[in-house]
Structure 1
Amino acid sequence: MGNLTTGLLGALVIGGLGSWLFLWTAKREGERWLGYLLIASLALKLLVVFVVSPVYYGHYTVNDSNGYDALAITFAQHLKQGQWIPPNVGFNVAIYSYLTGMVYALFGPSRWLMEVLNAFISTLGVLFFYKGLKLALPPRQVKPAIYLIALMPSLLLWNSLHLRDPWMFFSVGLFTYGAAMSMGKRWLRPLVVLVLALVSMRLFRCYVGGVGVVAAIPLIILFKSRDRGRRALVIHVFGSVILGLIGVYLFWGAWTCTVGSQGLSPELLQQTQNALATGRSALIFGRFASWWDLLRYLPQGLLNVLFRPFPWEAYNLPGLLASLENVLLFVLLIISLPRWLQLLRREGRPLWPGWAFLILLTGLFAIFEGNLGTIFRQKAQLMPFLLTLGALGLGPLWERLRAGSKETV
C-alpha cells in the first residue's frame, strides 16, 4: 500500500480543500445542504480508503489495482530520470498508470494517496451530476437523487479504490452536466465541458467514450434550441459542424481501440450465458449463432446487468450487500415507474442524452458483459441514472408522508 503517512497527509490537505470547495459551491448554488452532503460523501470515501480497502486488498490479492500499481512505480522511476517509456499494455490501462506514476514521481509511491485523490475526484463527479440534474428536474426530485448518488454503498466503494472507476464516474458526471447544458441555447461553455467529458471517457474507457458520443451528439444537434435570425442560424450550423467532427474523431478512436479492427458482424457478440450460469468470475467467450439468438438472450442479459446478483445467489458478504442494493434499486424503480413519462416532456430535455447513454450502455453490457466478478462494478457507471429514475417517486412520496403526519398531529 506504500507510505501511510503520505496518504494521511494527503487526506488532510485534500479533505480540507475539498470541504472548502464544496461549501463555497453550495453557497453559490443557494443550497447549503449540498455542501454538507458532498463533505459527508467524501468523508465516507476516505473511511473506505483507510479502513475497507486494506481488507479488500488483503482478501483479493489478485486484482487490477496491483497491476496499475506495478506499472505506475515503473513509470515513476523513469519519469524521475527524465525518461518517457512507451506502454506495453492497453491504452486505457496505460493512461491511468501514467497518471498514477506522475503522482508517485512527485510524492512517492503511496496507494493510499492515490485512493484519497480518487475519492475527491469521484465526489466532484457527484457535484456535476447535481448540476446536470437540476437543469431538467424540479428540486423535490433532484435532492433525493443526489442523496442516493452520494451515499449509495457501491458507489462509495468503487469510487474510493485504486481503480479507473472514480475517474470514469467523474467523466460521466461531467458528461451529464455538459450534455444537459448543450441542450439549451448556449454553445461555447457547454461545448467545452462536453468535449472535456468525452475526451476523459475516451481516455479511461474507450467503449464508454464511444457510447457517450453516440448518445449525446446526434440529440444535441437535432434538438438544439435556436433563436430566430441569421446570426443564431450561423452559430448553430458552425457549432453543429464542430461538435460533429469532434464526435466522429472521438467515436473512431473509441471504436478502433475496442472492436473496430475486427469489423462489425454478429460473430462479435459474445455469448455470456455459460459464465453467468456457472457463476464464474472469468469471462467465457462464445458466439451468438444468429441475430435471433441475440434478441432472445437480450432480456436475460438486461436482467443480469440491472439486478444480479440476486439475494439467493450471494455466497459471501460483498455479494449479499450487492444483492440487497439491487433489491433496493428494484423497489425504487417500481415506485417511480408511473413518473417516467415526465422525462419525455420538453422541460426534461436536458437529460435526454443521459437517458440515451443509460439505454445504450446497459444494452452493451447486457450483450458483452459475462464477468460476474465485475458486472456489479461496471454498473457503477449506470447507477447515477438508475438512481435518478428511482428517485422520481421519492419526492412526492415524502411530501405525502409529511402531509399525512401533519394531519395526524
Structure 2
Amino acid sequence: MVKLLLAFSLNAGLLWLLWQWLRRVRALPGVGRWVLPTLALKLLATLLSVGLISEDARYFMLWSGRMTDQLWHAPGQWLIMLGQDEFRWQGWALVFHGFSNTLFIIKLLSALNLASLGSAWLNGLYLSLFSFVGGWELVRQLRLRLRWPAATPGAGIVAFLGWPTVVYWTSGLTKESLLVGSGALVLALGIRLSYGPATRVAAIGLLLLAASLLHFKMRYFFAVVLFGVLAGLGLIRVLQRLGTARSRLAQLLLLAGLLAGGAWAASEVSPVFRANKFTSQLQRNYTDLLRTSGHRPHLEYPDLRPTTESVVQHTPVAIFHTLSRPWPWEGGTVLYLIAGLENLALLLVLAGALLAAMRGRGGQLPFALVLALLLYCGILAALLGLTTPNLGTLNRYRVTFLPFLLLLALQNDYAARLLRRLGL
C-alpha cells in the first residue's frame, strides 16, 4: 500500500508539472501549436521503442529493480552505492570501472521505479518526456532570445522533434533519450545566459550545472566537446559586450584558441587526453568494433594508424561516412533501406544549406553560435566515423549531434521558405 501511494503521489506531481510546462510552451507565438502534435509523435515512438525493447533496456530494468529493492530495504546503503562504481545486494553484484553511463542509467531508473513500480512502459515514458522537454526548451529559448521567427521556427521542430531517427532513438529506455535531452537543455540554458537578459543568473546557472552533470554522466567525452564550444561562445559574448570580438575572424580565432588551450590543459591533467594516448585508444576502439561487425555493413580504413597525422588525414572521409552511410542499397533489410533513404534526405538538406551559405543566404542565427555548433558537430562526426565501423551502430550514435546539425542546416532562406509552405 505504501508503494502504491508513493507511486500515485509521484506520478500526480509529474503530471502537474508537465501540464504547467505544456501551458507555458503552447503559448509561444508561431510554434506553440506544434507542441501537442510532436508530443503525440513522441508517445507513438515510445510505444514502438518499448514494444521492441532491446536487450540493453532489459538489462537496465533487471538491475534497476534489484537496486530499488535495496532502496526499500536499506536506503542508507543505496545512497552510499550511488557514489560508487559497484552494486552489491542480497548476493547480486554489478561492477563497472570509470565513467560508466550504463551504471548511471541503472541507478537513475532505480529511483524512477518508485514512481513506475518497475514498469518498463512508464520508465520509457519518463525518459521520452525528458528528451521532449529538452528539445522544446531549446526551441523556446531560440524563439525568445534570437528572434526565432526572423530565422525559421520549423528548423528546431524538425531537428529535435520530427526527424525520424532522432525521434525514435530519443524515445523509450535508451541512453540517447537522456543524452540528447540533456544536451539540448545545456545549449538552451547557455543561450539564455549568453543572449538573454541579465536576470535570474544564479537560478539559470544552477539548472545549467545540473543539466551539464547529467550530460557528462551520459557520455563524458562528447560532453567535454559541448562544454568547450559553449565556453568559447560565452567568452565571445563577454568580449562583444565589452566592444570587441565583432569580426568573424576574431570569433573563429577565439573559439579555436580556447579549444586548443583546453585540449592542452586536459593533456597535462590526465594522460587519457594526450595525443598519442587518444589516437591509440581510437585505433583500438575501431579495431575491436570492426572485429565484431562480422558480415554486417561496416566501414573500413585499411590505412588508419594510431598517429595524429593518420587521424587527421582520415577525418574528412570519416565525417562524410557518418553523414551518409548506410546507403539505401546496403544491408539488404527494410531498416537499412529506411536509414539509407533518410541519409539521402540529410545530404540533400546539407547540400541546400551549403549552397545557401555560398550565396549569402545562410540564415539569421548569430555567427558565434553557428560556429560553436558546427565545431561540435564536426568533431563528433569525425570521432564517431573513426571509432564506429558498424553502420547500424553508427546510425544510432550520430543522434548525439544530428539534431544540432539539422538545426543549423535548416536555417537558410531556402529551407525556411519550404518549411513555411509546409506550415512549420
Whether these two folds match at TM > 0.5 is yes
Conserved in 1, the CA contact under 8 Å of 2:290 and 2:298? yes
Conserved in 2, the CA contact under 8 Å of 1:308 and 1:323? yes
In structure 2, stretches of 5+ residues that fail to align are: 1-6, 87-94, 244-257
Q: Aligned to 2:280, which of 267, 270, 274?
A: 267
Q: Which residue of 2 aligns with 1:405?
A: none
Over 3 Å counting, the alpha-carbon distance change for 1:283 and 1:346 in structure 2 is closer
Conserved in 2, the CA contact under 8 Å of 1:183 and 1:223? yes
Please give the alpha-carbon distance, in whole angstroms, between the structure 1 residues aligned to 2:298 and 2:272.
20
Conserved in 1, the CA contact under 8 Å of 2:233 and 2:369? no
Q: Which residue of 1 aligns with 2:29?
A: 30
Please give the alpha-carbon distance, in whole angstroms, between the structure 2 residues aligned to 1:131 and 1:401.
20
Q: Which residue of 1 aligns with 2:129?
A: 120
Q: Which residue of 2 aligns with 1:75?
A: 67
Count the aligned residue pairs: 370
Please give the alpha-carbon distance, in whole angstroms, between the structure 1 residues aligned to 2:114 and 2:134.
26
Sequence identity percentage: 19
Given residue 98 of structure 1, which amino acid in structure 2 is its aligned partner? K
1:362 and 2:377 are equivalent in the alignment: no
Listed one character per residue, the Cα deviations across residues 284-319 of structure 1 (whole Å, up to 9, x for unaligned) are 999615434323322221122111111011322222
Given residue 335 of structure 1, which amino acid in structure 2 is its aligned partner? G
Please give the alpha-carbon distance, in whole angstroms, between the structure 1 residues aligned to 2:62 and 2:422.
53
CA RMSD in angstroms comes to 4.0
Over 3 Å counting, the alpha-carbon distance change for 1:344 and 1:397 in structure 2 is closer
Please give the alpha-carbon distance, in whole angstroms, between the structure 1 residues aligned to 2:365 and 2:150.
18
1:180 and 2:172 are equivalent in the alignment: no
Secondary structure at the aligned position of 2:392 is classed as coil
Q: Aligned to 2:416, which of 391, 395, 405?
A: 395
Over 3 Å counting, the alpha-carbon distance change for 1:322 and 1:47 in structure 2 is same
Q: CA deviation at 1:401?
A: 10
Listed one character per residue, the Cα deviations across residues 103-128 of structure 1 (whole Å, up to 9, x for unaligned) are 11444211111111011111111112
Listed one character per residue, the Cα deviations across residues 197-245 of structure 1 (whole Å, up to 9, x for unaligned) are 322211111112211222221332244256569xxxxxxxxxxxxxx9x
Q: CA deviation at 1:94?
A: 1.7
Listed one character per residue, the Cα deviations across residues 63-82 of structure 1 (whole Å, up to 9, x for unaligned) are 32122122211111111112
Please give the alpha-carbon distance, in whole angstroms, between the structure 2 residues aligned to 1:142 and 1:68.
39
Q: Which residue of 2 aligns with 1:199?
A: 213
Q: CA deviation at 1:278?
A: 5.8
Q: Which residue of 1 aligns with 2:246?
A: none
Over 3 Å counting, the alpha-carbon distance change for 1:11 and 1:390 in structure 2 is farther
Given residue 314 of structure 2, which amino acid in structure 1 is its aligned partner? Y
Conserved in 2, the CA contact under 8 Å of 1:311 and 1:323? yes
Given residue 50 of structure 2, which amino acid in structure 1 is its aligned partner? S
Please give the alpha-carbon distance, in whole angstroms, between the structure 1 residues aligned to 2:13 and 2:165.
25
Comparing 167-176 with 123-132, greater Cα deviation is found at 123-132
Given residue 44 of structure 1, which amino acid in structure 2 is its aligned partner? L
In structure 1, stretches of 5+ residues that fail to align are: 1-6, 230-243, 403-409
Comparing 98-107 with 292-301, greater Cα deviation is found at 292-301
Secondary structure at the aligned position of 1:180 is classed as helix
Please give the alpha-carbon distance, in whole angstroms, between the structure 2 residues aligned to 1:372 and 1:379.
10
Please give the alpha-carbon distance, in whole angstroms, between the structure 2 residues aligned to 1:171 and 1:373.
24
Please give the alpha-carbon distance, in whole angstroms, between the structure 1 residues aligned to 2:295 and 2:192.
42
Q: Which residue of 2 aligns with 1:239?
A: none
Given residue 105 of structure 2, which amino acid in structure 1 is its aligned partner? Y
- TM-score with structure 1 length normalisation? 0.76
Q: CA deviation at 1:388?
A: 1.6
Q: CA deviation at 1:355?
A: 2.8
1:87-166 correspondence to structure 2 within 5 Å: 87=86, 88-90=95-97, 91-134=100-143, 135-136=145-146, 138-139=148-149, 141-149=151-159, 150-166=161-177
Q: Which residue of 2 aligns with 1:66?
A: 58
Listed one character per residue, the Cα deviations across residues 174-204 of structure 1 (whole Å, up to 9, x for unaligned) are 1221222333374825544443332221111
- TM-score with structure 2 length normalisation? 0.74
Secondary structure at the aligned position of 1:264 is classed as helix
